[in-house]
Amino acid sequence: MSYLGIDLGTSGLRALLVSDDGQVLGSVERSYNSEHKHSGWSEQNPSHWVAALDEAALELRERYPEFADLKAISVAGHMHGATLLDENSDVIRPCILWNDSRAHIEARQLDETKGVRELSGNIVFPGFTAPKLLWVKNNEPENFARVAKVLLPAAYLNYHLTGDYVADMSDSAGTSWLSVSARDWSEDLLRAGDMRADQMPRLVEGCQPAGTLRADLAARWGIAEQVIVAGGAGDNAAAACGIGALNEGDGFLSLGTSGVLLAARDGCYPAPASALHTFCHAVPDRWYQMGVMLSATDSLNWLAQVTEKTAAELTGALGHTLQPPGRVLFLPYLSGERTPHNDAAIRGSFTGLGKDTAQNDLTRAVLEGVAFGLRDSLETFSQSGTKIERLIAIGGGANSTYWLKLIATVLNVSLERPQDGDFGAALGAARLARIAHTGLHPERVLLKPDIVETIEPHAELLAAFNESYEIFKEAYPKVRDIQMPSGS
């Protein structure tokens, strides 16, 4: 038997095949692009996700005989995206992605609506789904009038796989339409966002069966038996499942396009005033909190693009010895920021540049700026009473030992690098598929990975980085005043 976990990412899709005892059999990847028609906009055509999934499944069939014995599939997807379908289930317009900030006015208005924070458990961020629909209503009324269903990216792939409109709790918690504590759509939140319950998909837990694979897809992919499709998860909840972050005290640091600090919780403890996210986990009776920065490896990739280098070349040039904080300061707000500022308008900046500033100085500044942005999230956890002493590091940026040494020191937290850490969300999705098929208790499946390296903070540099972090914190309001002197 085998299980398929799909990680529907912002820049590409990864399909991971695991055995019935949870061992990785193999994986394939497909990439696609986002469109940025205007500053702050980010969109994708859902047909690209479907094509990537189909190509990945066909390649898995050719490379791994175990694929023919597939028993269940689960999709983890980038959260908050608004995929709009008409009454014929046709896509109305490109999906507006999580890192799209056009709906900042609608988000602010919705966030100020009485009861919204209390019911949803969260600030209404511009990247959330509900303000996107209000933006469509205000700017594309002809499209808004055609909306029969709104699906998140993972739910859209669930629809493609099963023919049914179904979504899981963890992904749906990032819409501002779900009561995170009740784990159900809220009529009051839907009404506040000018939406209806019939426009929402059916809800299931991420580890529960959501449907079965369409017969035509099963035949195309060479699968004879009926295949279960699990509810799936938002990408960060799936990553938590992939590294066994299920119970109170478990957590991870994700260095991907965005940067995430996540802590599992055994209850629902919303803290919206701190800009912490409080979402349902992908298994029943569990929640999680996270701080999110919008441009983590995105900041490094941006520098790589403008210097015509690869990210690995930039970080590799720094060597292996952690250096004290540099003179150049970088604010990593290339697409605005979530935790703790909830500021869609702020943009990044360098300061402290001189004629002697070299490429390595810029690289160090970018890595330090991202580390300081993650420290902002850690501070919000501390203010809400959650203590974090160690985190598992996952995501593409975790391949840089220098960066992990830096982050461990800035956060004063031990970072554990797991074996096969790059499979986080895809592995978590595959585990959810296995639970949906077998009915096993989540704690028997969502196990912690083997740790290959623990990176401790550099005690001799703690004071220097603490001092530099205080400068970083003071820079945000001053730079914002320069960029937007009217206070807009």
Q: At what angle do helices 153-162 and 46-63 cross, to 10 degrees?
A: 60
Residues 64 and 4: beta-carbon distance below 8 Å: no
Torsion angle of C-alpha atoms 414, 419, 422, 428, degrees rounded to 10:
-100
C-alpha radius of gyration, the chain, whole number: 22
Task: Exactly one of 7, 235, 250, 343 is catalytic; name it.
Answer: 235
Cα distance between residue 103 and residue 82, in whole Å: 12
Structure-token match 């709104």, residue found:
150
- CA trace torsion 102, 108, 109, 110 (10° rounding): 90
Tokens representing residue 189 in the block? 């939140």
Q: Rounded to a whole number, what is the distance in angstroms from the first to the last CA of the chain?
A: 57
Contact yes or no for 328/350 (Cβ under 8 A): yes
**Contact in structure between 127 and 99 (CB atoms under 8 Å):** yes
Cα gap 190→199, rounded to integer Å = 10
Residue 362: Cβ within 10 Å count: 19
235 is an active site residue: yes
DSSP 353-415: --TT--HHHHHHHHHHHHHHHHHHHHHHHHHTT----EEEEESGGGG-HHHHHHHHHHHT-EE
Q: Which residues face 2 on adjacent strands?
A: 19, 70
Alpha-carbon distance values, 380 to 78, 267, 390, 394 (Å): 23, 18, 16, 21
Residue with tokens 């809400």: 384
Alpha helices (H) along 415-461: 424-438, 442-445
E strand or H helix that includes residue 15 = strand 12-19
Q: Are 366 and 325 in contact (CB under 8 A)?
A: no
Residue pair 426/7 in contact (Cβ under 8 Å)? The answer is yes
Q: Catalytic residue positions? A: 235
